[in-house]
Structure 1
Amino acid sequence: ITGPGVHLGYNKIHTYDAFNYRESDTVKPGNELVTFELDGVTVGVAICYDVRFPEQFKALARQGAEVIVVPTSWADGPEKRDQWRLLSATRALDSTAYVICAGQARPGGNAKAGEASGPTGIGHSVIVSPTAERLAEAGYEEEIVYADIDSELVTKTRKTLPVLEALS
């Protein structure tokens, strides 16, 4: 689905069927990758649990995605922030693209950090470069993060680290 600067929709491919929860009981997964153009930049889309599947990020990059956006409601709990930070950086390395993850703020903010939160967020929205540099990262509270995106860095990274050319 494409349009001139218009995102027309995406149905997450990987439903969250883990930790005794079955999202697939109520959500029908999609089966199509989505990219769109915004100001000359190709943007790929993933949602939440999709971040655990490197093949999807590589496929989006092979379709030209220079930036991949990932809105999430990542649950808090023991080691969940560490997993979130690792996965967001690793997907940037896998795809040699910028990965922008918008995480739902942690209900209760810093006072509840690290406690199990069920299906609600952990916060920590982040913008990661194609080389896994964290350009901006929020905390547990509501916050907006900003960073400059440089398409030339994507091109340079893909030339020096040609992981998208490898067999998948």
Structure 2
Amino acid sequence: MELVALQLNAGASWPANQDRITALLERLPPRRPLLVQLPENAVVFGNREAVQEVAEPLGDGPVQDCLAQWAKQLGIWLVVGSMPTRIEHSDKLHASCLVFNEQGERVACYHKLHLFDVDVADGHGRYRESATFMPGNELCVVDSPFGRLGLSICYDLRFPELYRALRDQGADILMVPAAFTRVTGKAHWLPLLQARAIENQCYVLAAAQVGEHAGGRQTWGHSLILDPWGEICACLPDGEGLISASLDQHRLDSVRRQMPVAQHARLRAVWRDKE
């Protein structure tokens, strides 16, 4: 079983991004089953107006039709890092991670929990996702041929309690599609991903945006696949492209068996004793 992460330099035009993704999908390894992840903002990476223009109701629209068609035609499990989806009776959107199986059926959807409202010392400076998006309020773990996939998006990575909850729900692979800024990525991307892999003894699949984008945005790239011991299986530091690595179920089982941290965790017992 093979894990694949696509690294993109997406922009504000869905047709242009569609062409970029199509070109990378043509380079997929032939092995099946194949789990392919696109980064955050893979469909559109632009200002509020560009995002609103591309946004679709969940389950309805030409963009989602295209995503489903890719999964079906290529016979892959496709995780779309994020795309904007509409919320009924609201001018806000969700940043939604969508999962399609090899038949092109959408089997899961996760709305980003933690919105990136921060100030960064880069060319863009001020980030306020809450101006456009509304946070989700549910976790999502989905069964697949590769194991249980725990879904997350980018800024979620800074909240370890989310990943512990995903592991508690049986996650084997943590999905972390992202558009980390160059400044924060250089400082924290790798150590945070390794921590989530090690703490939860899960594979981590992290497809990233890379390079210069409109509005002065700069993204870090360095798409990664990590094993449950936190070791790097594959990395693409710069440029568009893809990385792949084999999923080793024996490796996952061995790490969890030799150091059973999930069974040793006692914090909930402490809380119960104090009630």
Instruction: Give TM class, smaller chain.
Output: 0.7 to 0.9
Partner of 1:104: 209
Choose 49-58 or 149-158, whichever is displaced more.
149-158
In the alignment, is the contact (CA less than 8 A) between 2:149 and 2:171 conserved in 1?
Answer: yes
Q: Is the contact made by 2:114 and 2:155 (CA closer than 8 Å) also made in structure 1? A: yes
1:167 corresponds in structure 2 to 266
- Normalised by the length of structure 1, the TM-score is 0.83
Distance 2:261 2:132 in 1: 36
Task: Verify: 1:87 aligned to 2:192, yes or no.
Answer: yes
- Contact kept in structure 2, 1:76 and 1:118, CA below 8 Å: no
Quote how far apart the aligned CAs of 1:163 are.
Answer: 2.6
**Structure 1: which amino acid aligns with 2:194?**
A
Q: Percent identity?
A: 34
> Which amino acid is the alignment partner of residue 32 of structure 1?
E
Partner of 2:4: none
Residue 69 to residue 40, structure 1, CA distance change in 2 (3 Å): closer
Q: Partner amino acid for 2:108?
A: L
> Which of 103, 109, 112 matches 1:12?
112
Alpha-carbon distance between aligned partners in 2 of 1:161 and 1:90, rounded to the nearest angstrom = 15
3-state SS of paired residue (1:135): strand
- TM-score with structure 2 setting the length: 0.53
> Unaligned 5+ residue runs, structure 2?
1-98, 120-125, 268-275
Q: What secondary structure is seen at the aligned counterpart in 1 of 2:255?
A: helix
Q: Give SS of 2:243's match.
A: coil
Q: Answer whether contact 1:4 1:36 (CA < 8 A) is retained.
A: no
CA change 1:167–1:24 in 2 (3 A) is farther
Please report how far the alpha carbon of residue 164 of structure 1 lies from its aligned counterpart in structure 2 after TM superposition: 2.3
Q: Return the structure number with greater helix share.
A: 2
Relative to structure 1, the CA distance from residue 107 to residue 61 in structure 2 (aligned partners, 3 Å threshold; closer, same or farther) is same
The residue type paired with residue 135 of structure 2 is P
Match of 1:39 among 122, 142, 145: 145
- Tell me what 1:127 maps to: 225
Moved over 3 A (4+): 3-7, 117-120
Q: State the 1:64 CA deviation.
A: 1.0
Structure-2 change in CA distance of 1:132 and 1:31 (3 Å): same
User: What is the number of equivalent residue pairs in this alignment?
Assistant: 157
Matched, 1:64 2:170: yes
The one-letter code matched in structure 2 to 1:35 is V
Kindly indicate whether the alpha-carbon contact (under 8 Å) linking 2:100 and 2:108 is maintained by their aligned counterparts in 1: no
Distance 1:149 1:69 in 2: 14
5+ residue gaps, structure 1 = 109-116
